[in-house]
């Protein structure tokens, strides 16, 4: 176990060591990731868990009276799995991620999440389930009146946590994604890539069991995109199920993973 942890650490340092060196040369480089792994490893049972994280059965979606944009989707996201979600613009990738995040209801079919029928979840159960799901939106959805730090800390504040209990973790997480010098600025002055990294940090701060990322590398240069892909891969290795919506063929070619391909409302799966 210790050997595995050391291996994972060394991979993560390969991904983010330079950021850590750039931002805090006098500090150990791993503490934030150690923290994340500490929490990720605790529910490590999820790797051997048999039931799906999410299961779709004949799911369909239409907006209003419009045409059905997703049709007869039946698939599972297994615990500890990694998949790319791809397909042409307008194919419904973001819509499918919204269904997976339970922020949109299907117009037909069943969605089962962590063993429960999503349509039967009460008002109290839904936020608890959503806290297990981290999402990076295509348009980031950072709150402009909150600093980068406050945006990333928001999921913890919403859970009623005291700032003293998470301050260090948020700062360390921001340093992993190379935003140490942007902690106290507001989103309007961040570049597209910086906003994207802040949104990724916000999705990770709650140590999600399922991470959904909508074009998470769309605003990043290729080298940063590769680093983030490696971070997602390491999170996945520690048990988090990952779904990345992307158009980026180069990115997908860098990592052998299941591909969910949407086309004209239908889903094809390449394992
Ligand atoms: N809120 C909405 N109301 C009505 N139609 C919508 C809404 N959101 C998306 N659509 C339509 O649903 C279809 C799928 O959109 P979606 O954003 O899910 O595609 P996408 O695959 O994520 O596209 P892209 O690659 O450009 O991000 C499109 O035809 C879009 O116009
Ligand atoms: Mg989209």
Strand order in the sheet with 210-214: 133-136, 210-214, 241-245, 82-86, 258-263, 266-270
Q: What is the position in ligand 1's atom list of the atom closest to the CA of 138?
A: 27
CA 56 to ligand 1 centroid distance, Å: 19
Tell me the ligand closest to 99's alpha carbon: 1
* pLDDT, tens only, 155-191: 999 889 999 999 999 999 999 888 999 999 999 999 9
Ligand 1 pocket residues where CB is under 6 Å: 63, 69, 87, 89-95, 138
* pLDDT, tens only, 221-252: 888 888 888 888 888 988 899 999 998 888 89
Q: How confident is the model at residue 16 (pLDDT cuts 50, 70, 90)?
A: very low
pTM here is 0.82
Cβ-contact 64, 205 below 8 angstroms = no
Length of the chain: 271
Among the listed residues 56, 140, 153, 142, the one whose alpha carbon sits nearest the alpha carbon of residue 106: 56
CA 93 to ligand 1 centroid distance, Å: 8
* pLDDT, tens only, 31-73: 344 444 443 433 433 344 568 899 999 999 999 999 999 999 9
Q: How confident is the model at residue 194 (pLDDT cuts 50, 70, 90)?
A: very high
Q: How confident is the model at residue 97 (pLDDT cuts 50, 70, 90)?
A: very high
Q: Return the percentage of the chain with pLDDT > 90, whole number.
A: 57
Tell me the Cα Rg of the chain: 18
Atom 11 of ligand 1, residue of closest alpha carbon = 90
Segment holding 150, helix H or strand E = helix 148-158
Q: What share of the chain is helix, strand, coil (3-state, %, to 5)?
A: 45, 20, 35
CA distance to 133, 136, 203, per residue, from 47 (Å)? 16, 23, 20
Cα separation, 261 vs 115, in Å, equals 25
Among the listed residues 238, 271, 267, the one whose alpha carbon sits nearest the alpha carbon of residue 100: 267
* Best of 93, 214, 263 for a ligand 1 pocket test (most atoms within 8 Å of beta carbon): 93
Atom 2 of ligand 1, residue of closest alpha carbon = 63
Q: Return the percentage of the chain with pLDDT > 70, whole number.
A: 82
């Amino acid at each position: 176990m210790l050997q595995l942890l050391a291996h994972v650490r060394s991979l993560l340092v390969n991904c983010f060591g330079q950021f850590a060196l750039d931002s805090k040369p006098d500090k150990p480089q791993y503490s934030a990731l150690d923290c994340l792994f500490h929490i990720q490893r605790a529910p490590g049972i999820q790797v051997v868990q048999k039931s799906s994280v999410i299961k779709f059965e004949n799911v369909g979606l239409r907006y209003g009276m419009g045409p059905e944009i997703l049709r007869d989707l039946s698939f599972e996201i297994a615990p500890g799995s990694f998949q790319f979600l791809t397909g042409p613009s307008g194919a419904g990738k973001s819509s499918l991620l919204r269904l997976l995040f339970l922020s949109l209801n299907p117009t037909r079919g069943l969605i089962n999440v962590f063993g429960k029928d999503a349509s039967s979840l009460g008002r109290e159960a839904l936020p608890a389930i959503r806290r297990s799901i981290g999402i990076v939106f295509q348009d980031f959805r950072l709150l402009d009146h909150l600093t980068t730090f406050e945006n990333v800390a928001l999921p913890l504040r919403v859970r009623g946590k005291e700032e003293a209990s998470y301050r260090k973790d948020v700062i360390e997480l921001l340093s992993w994604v190379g935003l140490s010098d942007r902690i106290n600025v507001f989103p309007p002055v961040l570049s597209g890539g910086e906003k994207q990294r802040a949104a990724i940090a916000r999705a990770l701060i709650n140590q999600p069991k399922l991470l959904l990322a909508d074009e998470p590398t769309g605003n990043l240069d290729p080298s940063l995109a590769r680093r983030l892909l490696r971070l997602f891969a390491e999170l996945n290795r520690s048990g988090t199920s990952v779904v990345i919506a992307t158009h980026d063929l180069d990115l997908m070619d860098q990592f052998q993973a299941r591909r969910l391909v949407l086309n004209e409302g239908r889903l094809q799966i390449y394992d």
